[in-house]
Amino acid sequence: MKPIIRTVAIVFAAATIFGVFAIAQRNGRQTARVVRTAGPYDVSPLETEVLGQSRWLRGGPAALRVIVTDHNSGKPVDARVKIALAALDAGVKPAGEPAPLYDGRTNSVGSVDAEFRAPSSAPGAYDIRVNVDSSLGKDEVIQRIQLEQAVQIMLTCDKPLYQPAQTIHLRALALDLANRRAITDQPLTFEVEDARGNKVFKKTENLSQFGVAGVDFQLADEVNMGTYTLRASLPSGQTEKKVRVERYVLPKFKVGITTEKSYYLPGETVKGTVQADYFFGKPVASSKVAITVNTIDIGVSKLAELQGTTDAGGAYKFEYQLPNSFVGQPFEQGKAVAEFQGRHGYGRPPADAEQDRAGSEGSHSHRPRS
C-alpha cells in the first residue's frame, strides 16, 4: 500500500503545481480543457473549455464554443473572449503574429458561440489561441487544428460509348467546397487509361475564370477494347469517369412498350403492346420479341420472360398476371415497380426495305407502378 500512496501524492502535487490539461474526442468534436495556475502553488479560479472541430476548410465557415466558469464554485463567468489563428513554422513552432478571428463576450451562462470564416491560408497545421479576460483573471487555451482544402471536380464527356478512331471530348468544372466558387488559374491534369490500365493520354490545362477546362483525345484505329478510365485531377483532389470503347452498329429500328394503365394492383393482369418500326416509317413485321419482367426488392429480380412475334403492323400484344405481393420502394413513395423490358430480334423487312436493316436489334423498357 505504501508505494501506491506515494504515487498518488506525486501525481496530485504535479497537478497542483503545473495545472491540468486534458483532451477528449466526442462525436467528431475535439474538446480542450485547461486549468492554468495563477502561481507556483495556486490553481487559477478560471476554467476554460473549448468545443469545436479539429479540421477546418480553408476559406470556409467555422465555429467554436467557449465555456468559462469559476473553478472553485462552478458558476459561469462574464469574460471577454478573443480567438486567433497562429501559423506554425514547419508545423511545429509558431511563426509570426496570430491572425484575429473573433472578439466577443460570454453570455449569462458563461458561454459564447463564436462564428467566423477560416482564413484562406495554405493548408497545414495551425494553432488556435483562445484568450479569456475576466475579473477573476486571465486564461489561454492553445489547440492544434488542421486547415484543409477540399475541391469538387465534375468531369463530363460527350457520350458513354466510343468506337476506335473517334474523338473523346473531355470537360471539367472545378469548385472550392468551402465557398462553392469556381477555382481559377490552376493547372488541371487530364488522363486517359485504356482497358488494360495503360496510360494513353495526359495533358494539363489551366482552369478558366469560370473554373472550366477541356481537352480532346483522338482514339487510334486499333485500340484495346473495353472500359476506359477518364481522370481529371488537381493537387487537392481528383475525379474519374468510365466509358466504353468498342465497335458497334447503330440500331435500324425503334422499339416501344405501352400498357393499358400506368398503375396496377398486385395480382392484376397487365395488358400491353410492343411496337417496332423502322426509322424510315415501315413496321417491323414477323419479328421475334422477348419481354423480360423485372421487379426491385433488395436488388433487381426477374419475374418472367414472355416471347412472341410481331404482326404485319409491327405490334405484339402481351398479357402478364402480376404476383400477389411486391416490395414497396422509398424513392417511389412506397409504391412497387414492375419493369417490362422488350427486345426485338432479327425481323423480316418489308419488300421495299434495305436488306441490311434485317439484322438490327432494339430494346425498350416500361415501368408501370403497383
Query: pLDDT, tens digit, for every residue of 243-296?
Result: 999 988 777 888 888 888 888 888 999 999 999 888 888 998 988 888 888 888
Q: What angle do CA 4, 10, 14 make, to 5 degrees?
A: 150
Q: Are residues 313 and 358 in the same domain?
A: yes
Domain that holds residue 211: 151-245
Bigger pLDDT: 43 or 157?
157
Q: Are residues 217 and 266 in the same domain?
A: no
Last residue of a domain, one of 178, 212, 245: 245
Average pLDDT on 114-127 reads: 87
Average pLDDT on 1-30 reads: 35
Last residue of a domain, one of 229, 245, 261: 245
Question: What pLDDT, on a 0 to 100 scale, did the predictor assign at position 370?
Answer: 59
CATH number for the domain harbouring residue 235 = 2.60.40.1930
Cell numbers found for residue 122? 495554405
For 38, phi then psi, to 5°, come to -80, -25
Q: Are residues 140 and 12 in the same domain?
A: yes
In the block, cell 420502394 appears at 329
CATH number for the domain harbouring residue 279 = 2.60.40.10
- What whole-number distance in Å separates Cα of residue 246 and Cα of residue 244? 6
Q: How far is CA 163 from CA 80, 191, 198, 245, in A?
A: 68, 19, 18, 5
- Per-residue pLDDT band for 3 (boundaries 50, 70, 90) equals very low
21 pLDDT higher than 70: no
105 pLDDT higher than 90: yes
Bigger pLDDT: 167 or 119?
167
Q: Are residues 163 and 218 in the same domain?
A: yes
Q: Are residues 87 and 167 in the same domain?
A: no
Q: Are residues 25 and 62 in the same domain?
A: yes
Q: What is the number of structural domains in the chain?
A: 3
Question: What pLDDT, on a 0 to 100 scale, did the predictor assign at position 296?
Answer: 80
Q: Are residues 236 and 280 in the same domain?
A: no
Cell numbers found for residue 347? 425481323
- What whole-number distance in Å separates Cα of residue 190 and Cα of residue 230? 7
Q: Are residues 51 and 87 in the same domain?
A: yes
CA dihedral sign of residues 46, 51, 56, 60: negative
Q: Are residues 8 and 48 in the same domain?
A: yes
Contacts (Cβ under 8 Å, ≥6 apart) of 163: 219, 245, 246, 247, 248
HSE, CB side, 13 Å, CA atoms: give it for residue 129.
11
Average pLDDT on 66-91 reads: 88
Q: How far is CA 193 from CA 26, 93, 232, in A?
A: 43, 44, 12
Query: Is 281 strand, coil or helix?
Result: coil
Q: Are residues 57 and 92 in the same domain?
A: yes
Beta strands in 108-150 (DSSP E): 111-117, 124-134, 137-148
Q: pLDDT tens digits for 129-175?
A: 999 999 888 888 988 888 888 888 999 999 999 999 999 999 999 99
